[in-house]
Amino acid sequence: MGRKVTVATCALNQWALDFEGNLQRILKSIEIAKHKGARYRLGPELEICGYGCWDHYYESDTLLHSLQVLAALLESPVTQDIICDVGMPIMHRNVRYNCRVIFLNRKILLIRPKMALANEGNYRELRWFTPWSRSRQTEEYFLPRTIQDLTKQETVPFGDAVLSTRDTCIGSEVCEELWTPHSPHVDMGLDGVEIFTNASGSHHVLRKAHARVDLVTTATTKNGGIYLLANQKGCDGDRLYYDGCALIAMNGSIFAQGSQFSLDDVEVLTATLDLEDVRSYRAEISSRNLAASRVSPYPRVKVDFALSCHEDLLEPLSEPVEWKYHSPAEEISLGPACWLWDFLRRSQQVCEAVKHGSQEVLADVRTIVNQTSYTPQDPRELCGRILTTCYMASENSSRETCNRARDLAQQIGSHHIGLNIDPAVKAVLGIFSLVTGKSPAFAAYGGSSRESLALQNVQARVRMVIAYLFAQLSLWSRGAPGRLLVLGSTNVDESLLGYLTKYDCSSADINPIGGISKTDLRAFVQLCMERFQLPALQSILVAPATAELEPLAHRQVSQTDEEDMGVTYAELSVYGRLRKIAKMGPYSMFCRLLYVWKDVCTPRQVADKVKRFFSKYSTNRHKMTTLTPAYHAESYSPDDNRFDLRPFLYNTRWPWQFRCIETQVLQLERRQHQDLDGVD
């Protein structure tokens, strides 16, 4: 009697509205799954249309083309003799749902709508979809005629149900449902479901993989069972990078781990597991069995198909594996590089993928360098073909910084340009002087703070103009086709405080590090220095961060970022997490930091720091409306586009909030004086 089942899950690099490419990747994953002996295949959330369609979900075209792809899948011989579980939007009774469509041999078995929608942070699913709220209930879904012609079915079950095959029971969760306080797998497991599936569209955030794995292992530790998780991978068309991490678990252990950062478009995981291991594991948990005797049953869709084979005694079983995590520094080195590759980026990972035989990556490289016979062997050589670095010096730039830029460019192999922007800056200032008859001066030369800031901003904005000029014409000047993307380098802490000039050299096409804190970036630089043998990074690590926009003092840098901001980068990370993640305003933040910093700051100092942060943050919030699209990596990102939705016109004096802080400070100071008087 068969009891061993081989199941497959996958991570696919699907693209929003790329219906042709998405179809081919789905078919390829099914083909691989069947070749590995699987009889059930799970794919990522909304894989047919791509997860990141956003407001394109409103369009009837998106629904139509998704149905057309579903028809192509039903019709394909590749999908025969394997249960296929695919994701797509479905309109049911004029309501749009995020659904799983599960089919076998040209018959749709079940359409399972998502019941808990992700609607926080970067997610806006409630904007486009409605959650299915009728637990353990189904309705009849009338299939479109084009699908009816293929399946010979008029209606199929639509709702919260499970599949009952000849040998086991399968239940679906969709992404967010795993993260809810009472996930569907709890009651499904109590009702006898042995295989749980989760189709995800889960994007990368530093350290998020730990939470994802813990949720799955905890679920199967408490309730027993087999758990499959599929996920999107790659850049779906915006700031997010979906980091794969497909997995298969059973009874609290991991049996298959997918890659977190990969350039392969299709990755399929399989595991062969014994259903009797689930049954014997559950039999020992008396508290679970008592709860199971009281659970309300799920509607079951009977499927005349078995995941196991009769003759499976000699079939080898999969062994447990220990999950291998990347450090945050490694995540920074890999995540943005993979994200950038979807835009065009040099990375050591690209050469490694080619060496390992990835024909898709090799084809992309040859298209980018415009040479059909080119094969990259060395990351430095490839870097020289597709990455141009440019150091734009001014009279305020130090020789040390120029040397660091040159040395690093030599070590990574980029095509490096060194130039001086002083003629352009003087030309712009000359126009101003010609019109007004006034010549602004730096504070070091007797000018006002307004004059000094304007002179710094001119340098920064001239650099942006020059960067785009060279991006458009640098390849042309070398006799090569195409143009370059401009990469930004502002980090999340500087954006949070607004320590950047609007429309300056922080303006770019994309920013690979815009969602990463200065603290994590320093760890990333240290990792790169050691792993890629880049000694030039050592001098960059020890050098004080500086914009070098003010005059040098005795040929030495007279300006540092932290002095300019009046805040340390370490403090900024604290403010950022409390503001966004802990959702604190000025008064709540003051109260929290009063305790956290009690050993290093007086109440007055804490109050001054919090007031200074919120004053600068609110004054500069308008800059976030034009922030360069950046790789999303931190939960406290101030990205105004989708993630951190707040006004950009504030009363920057915060009179009510700051008065509450001041009241508390005065009370604490009076109490301290009374305590001292008591001691005397």
Is the pLDDT at 369 greater than 70? The verdict is: yes
Element (H, E) at 157: strand 155-159
Question: What span, in angstroms and rounded, lies between the C-alpha atoms of 493 and 481?
Answer: 37
Whether 347 has a pLDDT exceeding 50, the answer reads: no
Q: Residues 665, 604: contact at Cβ < 8 Å? A: yes
Residue 343 has pLDDT above 70, yes or no: no
- Report percent pLDDT > 70 for the chain: 98
The pLDDT of residue 249 is 98
Residue 679 banded pLDDT, cuts 50, 70, 90: low
Tell me if residue 302 falls in helix, strand or coil: strand
**Residue 544, SS3 per DSSP:** coil
Of 444-458, 550-564, 657-671, least confident by mean pLDDT is: 550-564
660, amino acid identity: C
Is 255's pLDDT higher than 50?
Answer: yes
The pLDDT score that the predictor gives to residue 130 is 98
Is the pLDDT score of 385 beyond 80? yes
Kindly report, residue by residue over 451-480, the tens digit of the pLDDT: 999 999 999 999 999 999 999 999 999 998
Q: What residues pair up with 9 in beta bridges, in sequence order?
A: 42, 269
- The whole-number average pLDDT for the span 177-182 is 95
Alpha-carbon dihedral angle through residues 426, 431, 433, 435, given to the nearest 10 degrees: 180
Q: What is the DSSP string of 123-156?
A: --HHHH------TT-EEEEE--HHHHHHH--SEE
CA distance 68 to 558: 64
338-352, 375-389, 508-522: segment of lowest average pLDDT: 338-352
Nearest to 623 by CA among 498, 480, 436: 498
Q: Which pLDDT does position 548 carry in this prediction?
A: 86
Q: Which span out of 192-206, 512-526, 631-645 was modeled with the highest average pLDDT? A: 192-206
Q: What percent of the chain has pLDDT over 90?
A: 71
**pLDDT class for 272, splitting at 50, 70, 90?**
very high
Least confident of 201-215, 543-557, 562-576: 543-557
Q: Where are the beta strands (DSSP E) in 165-297?
A: 169-174, 195-200, 226-235, 241-243, 247-250, 253-257, 266-274
Token pair recorded at residue 558: 């007279």
DSSP letters spanning 4-64: EEEEEEEEE---TT-HHHHHHHHHHHHHHHHHTT-SEEE--TTTTT-GGGGGGGGSHHHHH
Least confident of 2-6, 421-425, 610-614: 2-6
Mean pLDDT for the stretch of residues 263-273 = 95
Counting beta carbons within 10 angstroms of the beta carbon of residue 454, is it exposed (0 to 12), middle (13 to 18) or buried (19 or more)? middle
pLDDT in tens, 46-81: 999 999 988 889 989 899 999 999 999 999 999 999
Dihedral angle sign, alpha carbons of residues 249, 250, 254, 256: negative
The H or E element that residue 87 is part of is strand 83-92
Per-residue pLDDT reduced to its tens digit, 287-323: 999 999 999 999 999 999 999 987 777 889 999 999 9
Q: How confident is the model at residue 344 (pLDDT cuts 50, 70, 90)?
A: low
Residue 596 Cα to chain centre, angstroms: 30
Q: Kindly indicate the confidence band of residue 649, based on its pLDDT and cuts at 50, 70 and 90.
A: confident
Q: Cα(563)–Cα(569) distance, rounded to whole angstroms?
A: 11
pLDDT at 314: 81
Q: Please give, one letter per residue, the 3-state secondary structure of 572-633.
A: HHHHHHHHHHCCCCHHHHHHHHHHHCCCCCCHHHHHHHHHHHHHHHHHHHHHHHHCCCECCC
Q: List Cα–Cα distances, 178 to 118, 186, 215, 395, in angstroms.
A: 11, 10, 7, 57
- pLDDT category, 345, cuts 50, 70, 90? very low
pTM score above 0.75: yes
> Which pLDDT score is estimated for 636?
79
What is the Cα–Cα distance from 178 to 397, expressed in whole angstroms? 52
Report DSSP state, residue 411: H
Quick one: average pLDDT of 23-29? Answer: 97
Average pLDDT, the chain: 92
Length in residues, the chain: 680
For 166, which DSSP code?
A: S
